[in-house]
Amino acid sequence: MELALTIVVLVAISVSVSSLAERSRVSTPLALIAVGIVCSYLPFVPDVELTPEVVLVGLLPPLLYAAAIRTSLVDFKANRRPIALLSVGLVVFTTVGVGLLVWWLLPVDLPVALALGAVVAPPDAVAASAIARRVGLPRRVVTILEGESLVNDATAIVTLRTAIAAIVGSVTVWEVGIEFVVSALGGALVGLLVALVVVVIRRRVEHELTDVALSLLTPWLAYLPAEEIHWAGTDAHASGVLAVVVAGLILGHKSPVIQSARSRMFDRTNWATISFILENSVFLLIGLQVKAIVADVGESDLSPARIGAACVAVLAAVVALRMTWIFPATYLPRLLPSVRRKDQTPPWTTPVIIGWAGMRGVVTLAAVFLLPEETPHRSVLVLIAFVVTVGTLVLQGTTLPWLIRTLGVEGPDRHEDHLQEANVYQAAANAGLRFVDDEIAGTVPADVEDRLRNRALDRANAVWERLGGAETPTAQYSRARAAMLARERQEVLRIRNEGQVDQAVLQRVLNALDVEESILDRLAEDESTAERETELRSTPGEGCVHLVEACERPMPTPVTPSGCEECLRDGTTWVHLRLCLTCGHVGCCDSSVERHATRHFEETGHPVMRSFEPGEAWRWCFVDGLTG
């Protein structure tokens, strides 16, 4: 009963504090840690021990799986080089650097110092996701940070276990190599096999709740077998962390073809809820450890000044080593022509942002408790791990938004996002219309065919409407239909209260109303997001002489109607095409690597371009930043 009450109170506090922090625009992780620290000193709050088993088996698998299924496998593969350099190379570099520093500062053996280096080496997936997405980082930066934090835990834990083996005995270079190979290949193989088996099962499962239950089990189906697979005659075993990540990436990628729409909706809702509760609880748990950590350090024979100096030095080293590694890792590979051709050199601000976004989290605190009890000055090492965790969250987490604004780093272009979204919807609608023409036309009544065509275009038209400034017809419809649904639900509830109709029938009607309302809620969310993103802009075309003049002039003849002029010349690839309404130049949009349409404006000053995609007629003024 005491355990159940503790869990309920822990979750309730986590949810309440996160809600208040969100409303107050305060960093949620830091608010939860602060509340946890205060609670740890309250006399009526029981000691809550954050054991390695709780974190590594209970918390880490679902957190990593929830992050992995949200991560694009396509983007992960496209950024595998920087992710590998950070998740493997940087972890080893930090482990060695911090290990040598601790060996010099404290009276501990080198294996113990290296073990602490492995503990503080990996940035945390939870911290990266909780902060990076909220500060307007470019998408590729977010992908790299989340990809790094998904994989680096495996590297750090393997390195830590190797160091612990050296503490209690002796290891050879050969054994270290075997440990890494078995961990990486074994974990990846187990994750792949689990994903393949789950894919086969999910294709045959038609019951949505059964499918969701299988999804909830998947993290442990990958983690537990991997941790039990050992190389013959050694302690080397597969990485359960890596198995969970691989399984999550594959299943997230395969989800649209192996699950029904209802199953995917249930799955997203469940994992979003689980992530919300666990992520917030994790930061609260970090704060709750403070009292016990401080009490243990009080029994150390090292002076407070020496302990404090070691804590500050390791925190500074963690930050400095990451910044030292990130620039060579970013620019040295691009000295190779094959890399440079495929991956454009980023501005110097990108590695600065990635380097500064190195917040540590729960894995660091959990891993430090893996150190054997007889480890010399173990309580001091635990305190150092806590200082690094909280210090990076405070130092880097709070200053990251300021740094982004100072450097002028811009997040995704929301206007371009809307255009791409509309293009995708339009392509999907066109495919549906072709299906109607080829397979359905003539087999159903004309009014049914018209409804099919209109329904196919509704979603694309709603996104195109958002490029305008006034309230869109879709928004007006959503608001009016929501009011109608409220009145309809009121009538159904009146009938239910009379008790004259079977309750199962009434529940089906209420469920149908809920499904339609959820669709309207999604439309309203899209509309409100668009309004927030463009609230400082004028009404498209209002007061823009360039758009007025472009509309009055005849359409110029495209210079290269088959594609982007520069891409055709240089052999590069474009994404979307834009037509200059002054000279007829055809260039690729900012979604393309080369951004030739924008470059054309910068070189010529021609102010207005028009979409050169089929079915699109919008115009954009570079000078005023308006659509017309």
Residue range 135-175, pLDDT digits in tens? 666 778 888 888 888 888 888 888 888 888 787 766 666 77
Same domain for 462 and 334: no
Same domain for 451 and 351: no
pLDDT in tens, 331-381: 998 888 888 777 778 888 889 988 998 888 777 877 888 888 888 888 899
What local confidence, expressed as pLDDT, does residue 543 receive? 56
pLDDT of 97 higher than 80: yes
DSSP annotation of 26 reads -
What local confidence, expressed as pLDDT, does residue 194 receive? 95
Q: Which two tokens stand for residue 379?
A: 């309580």
With cut-offs at 50, 70 and 90, classify the pLDDT of residue 523: low
CA–CA dist 606, 546 (Å, integer)? 9
CA–CA dist 221, 559 (Å, integer)? 58
Same domain for 475 and 455: no
Residue at a domain's end among 486, 507, 536 = 536
What local confidence, expressed as pLDDT, does residue 416 receive? 61
With cut-offs at 50, 70 and 90, classify the pLDDT of residue 505: confident
Is the separation of the CB atoms in 318 and 120 below 8 Å?
yes
pLDDT of 536 higher than 50: no
pLDDT of 60 higher than 60: yes
Is the separation of the CB atoms in 102 and 113 below 8 Å?
yes
45 or 119, greater pLDDT: 119
pLDDT in tens, 67-85: 888 888 888 888 889 999 9
Same domain for 255 and 174: yes
Same domain for 394 and 252: yes
Residue at a domain's end among 483, 513, 536 = 536
pLDDT-wise least confident of 50-54, 179-183, 350-354, 417-421: 417-421
Is the separation of the CB atoms in 465 and 472 below 8 Å?
yes
Residue 609 parent element (H or E) = strand 608-611
pLDDT in tens, 100-130: 999 999 999 898 999 999 999 988 756 655 5
What local confidence, expressed as pLDDT, does residue 467 receive? 55
- In the chain, the largest separation of any two C-alpha atoms, in whole Å, equals 89
179 or 188, greater pLDDT: 188
Mean pLDDT across the chain, nearest whole number? 81
Same domain for 481 and 456: no
Residues β-bridged to residue 580: 609
Same domain for 398 and 418: no
DSSP annotation of 554 reads P
Instruction: For 579, list phi and psi in degrees, rounded to 5.
Output: -110, 125
Residue at a domain's end among 481, 512, 536 = 536
DSSP annotation of 615 reads T
Same domain for 550 and 524: no
Is the separation of the CB atoms in 95 and 121 below 8 Å?
yes
What local confidence, expressed as pLDDT, does residue 535 receive? 33
Cβ contacts of 559 within 8 Å, gap of 6 or more: 565, 583, 584, 585, 586
Same domain for 398 and 287: yes
**pTM greater than 0.85:** no
CA–CA dist 243, 81 (Å, integer)? 20
Same domain for 419 and 403: no
Look at the block and give the residue holding tokens 């890399």. Answer: 339
Same domain for 453 and 500: no
CA–CA dist 467, 519 (Å, integer)? 21
Residue 484's domain comprises: 470-536
Q: Which two tokens stand for residue 461?
A: 């038209």
Q: What is the mean pLDDT of residues 285-297?
A: 84
Look at the block and give the residue holding tokens 């780093």. Answer: 409
pLDDT in tens, 572-627: 888 778 999 999 999 988 777 788 999 999 999 999 998 887 656 678 888 887 77
Q: Which two tokens stand for residue 151?
A: 């994989």
In 3D space, the residue among 247, 251, 230 whose CA is nearest the CA of residue 193 turns out to be 247
CA–CA dist 159, 171 (Å, integer)? 12
217 or 166, greater pLDDT: 217
Cβ contacts of 454 within 8 Å, gap of 6 or more: none
Q: What is the mean pLDDT of residues 493-499?
A: 84
What local confidence, expressed as pLDDT, does residue 595 receive? 87
Total structural domains within the chain: 4
Share of the chain above pLDDT 90, in %: 21
Is the separation of the CB atoms in 340 and 144 below 8 Å?
no
Same domain for 475 and 456: no
Is the separation of the CB atoms in 154 and 183 below 8 Å?
yes
Question: Beta strand pairing status for 619-621 and 577-580?
Answer: unpaired
